[in-house]
Amino acid sequence: MIIKICGVRTLEDAECVIAAGADYIGFIFVKKSPRYLEPAVAAQIAKAVRGRIETVGVFVDEALHVVREIVRTCQLDHVQLHGHESVADIAEFAEFSLIKALALDEPEDVAKAQVYPCRLLADAIQGSQAGAGITGDWALAADLASQREILLAGGLTADTVADAILAVKPWGVDVSSGVERAKGVKDHGEIYRFVAAARQAGEDR
């Protein structure tokens, strides 16, 4: 069970995520987001945690040259595209280890997701409004998870993640607002609770 804590903005929070036992840490490079992080700050955090946790840069409908520059500056391990990127767009990002985020609203969305040649993230919202704590459709996510390796996101908390894992059986889970005490401010206690609950559920599924 891969566990990703997204929207991290400080080294203190990053150290907490590592101590709690998560696998991935996410930096959001979307200026409209309350969790936006300046690339220079992300580079400092990424350097400090390198070798102890994998880093993910989150982008929404961003130009390839911008993504490439930020990934190079921060030396990120993965790129998560959370916008409306087409399959043709994805091909331009093939040099990266990719995660494509998709909103699953209708059964047809599960079929549409199959065209993407990379790992997928099933969320309730696509684009810059993701991270609003809205729960996705677990039935649709379970359908997709039976066919592909997916990260599950959307409204997860320490109290709901176990049920989500047992229902969907994803490759991993992704949380941002569900471990915050205020918008964009991480709650260290909730990070520990979330990771522990997700890890136990991953063993039980």
The model's pLDDT over 84-120, given as tens digits with 9 standing for 90+, comes to 888 888 998 999 999 999 998 889 999 989 999 999 9
Instruction: DSSP letter for 160, please.
Output: T
57 — alpha (psi -120 to 50), left (phi > 0) or beta?
A: beta
Catalogue all structural domains in the chain, each as residue range(s) with its CATH number: 2-204 (3.20.20.70)
Higher per-residue confidence, 177 vs 126: 177
Catalytic residues: 6, 123
- Our CA angle for 83, 42, 16, nearest 5°, is 105
Q: Do 149 and 119 form a contact (C-beta atoms < 8 A)? A: yes
What's the pLDDT tens digit per position in 8-61? Answer: 999 999 999 999 999 999 999 999 999 999 999 999 999 999 999 999 999 999
3 state DSSP class of 22: coil
Q: Please give the pLDDT value at position 128.
A: 44
Higher per-residue confidence, 133 vs 78: 78
